[in-house]
Structure 1
Amino acid sequence: MPEVISPAPRHYLYRRPNLPMAEAWEPVPDDELVADSLIEIPLLGQVSAGMPIEACLETSRIHVPTRMVRRNTYALRVRGNSMIDCNIFDGDVIIIERQESAENGETAVVMINDEEVTLKKLYIEKSGVRLQPANESMAPIYLKNSDIQVLGLVMGVVRQAGELAA
């Protein structure tokens, strides 16, 4: 039986549209965190916010507010610090809407060469694709378009209580 990760004590942040990622997060109101307004989604493993890591599926589940769930929603645990300027930190669980494309500058989960996954801002350039960390101490990754596959876009963050960042 899959592990179910309980809903408390966590902070749920959902992404407001049309804002830069670092400013887009808004806490889900407490009145939406009662048991009948939470839904269970798959927690499919980890994604690197740093150097890409091998894609490995897991079979856990996590409860999230219904407002964070769309049609093809799943969660991944973040490992690394490349997205800290977007207010996504090591240990956070990100809520992903499964999509196969991303607009310039979107924060996306990307598979590289059908083997590794990473979380970065995606930019389409003349020479290919730039996967840009949201941490100025880290260098971007440059790849050919054919080397990547967009797996989904970040729509929410679940953070353990006590780890709430600004």
Structure 2
Amino acid sequence: MTTVTLQFFQRLPNLPIAESWAAIDHDPDSSVEIPLAGSVSAGMPIEVCSSDATIHVPSRMIRRNTYALQVRGNSMIDCNIFDGDVIIIERQESAENGETAVVMINDQEVTLKKLYIEKNGVRLQPANTSMPAIYLRNSDIRVLGLVMGVARRAEMAA
């Protein structure tokens, strides 16, 4: 069995997300186990699929209702969130304009995007200039949480 070494990055407050990642040390003796609840698309939305897996993360990354999701896709690369990363999410039901959020669409699909509230509804904006935004009515989405950290395979973090 091979062990995977993860590098952890915590979101710093009051900075644009692309610039707000700080590497943090991971002492396995002070880690906390949280649910790895499944996958989230960083691309076209995917069906919700849950998991019973867990991941150990540094205790300082944990707040009151924290879970993790595996990222699938490249729509958030300009925010330094890449395919294969595990994002650390704080469960919340609302997001500020421009926040990077996990969003459920029509109670069926989930995606990871920057959320913008506009006159005619909501824009889910990828952080990848080669991908289009998704436009929806407010009633079509539900915020599931905000990105607070990232875990990345150490060999990919360099």
TM bracket (short chain): over 0.9
Paired position in structure 1 for 2:13 = 17
CA-CA distance at 1:36 after TM superposition: 2.2
Read off the aligned partner of 2:101 and give its amino acid letter: A
Q: Contact 1:10 / 1:159 at 8 angstroms: preserved in 2? A: yes
CA-CA distance at 1:50 after TM superposition: 0.1
Give, in whole Å, the separation in 2 of the partners of 1:34 and 1:151: 29
Matches within 5 A, 1:67-86: 67-86=60-79
- The partner residue of 2:23 within 27, 32, 38 is 27
Q: Runs of at least 4 residues of structure 1 off by over 6 A?
A: none
Matches within 5 A, 1:93-112: 93-112=86-105
Q: Deviations over 1:13-59 (max 9, x none)?
A: 00000000000000003xxx222211000000000000000001110
TM-score scaled by length of structure 2: 0.97
Matched, 1:60 2:63: no
Paired position in structure 1 for 2:151 = 158
Q: Deviations over 1:73-102 (max 9, x none)?
A: 000000000000000000000000000000
Q: Contact 1:7 / 1:64 at 8 angstroms: preserved in 2? A: no
Q: Percent identity?
A: 72
Give, in whole Å, the separation in 2 of the partners of 1:8 and 1:72: 25
Paired positions, count:
157
Give, in whole Å, the separation in 2 of the partners of 1:74 and 1:46: 11
List gaps (5 residues or longer) in structure 2.
none
Matched, 1:46 2:42: no
Q: Contact 1:7 / 1:62 at 8 angstroms: preserved in 2? A: no
- What SS is found at the alignment partner of 1:146? helix
Paired position in structure 2 for 1:135 = 128
- What SS is found at the alignment partner of 1:58? strand
List gaps (5 residues or longer) in structure 1.
1-5
Q: Contact 2:28 / 2:58 at 8 angstroms: preserved in 1? A: no
CA-CA distance at 1:164 after TM superposition: 1.1
Paired position in structure 2 for 1:90 = 83
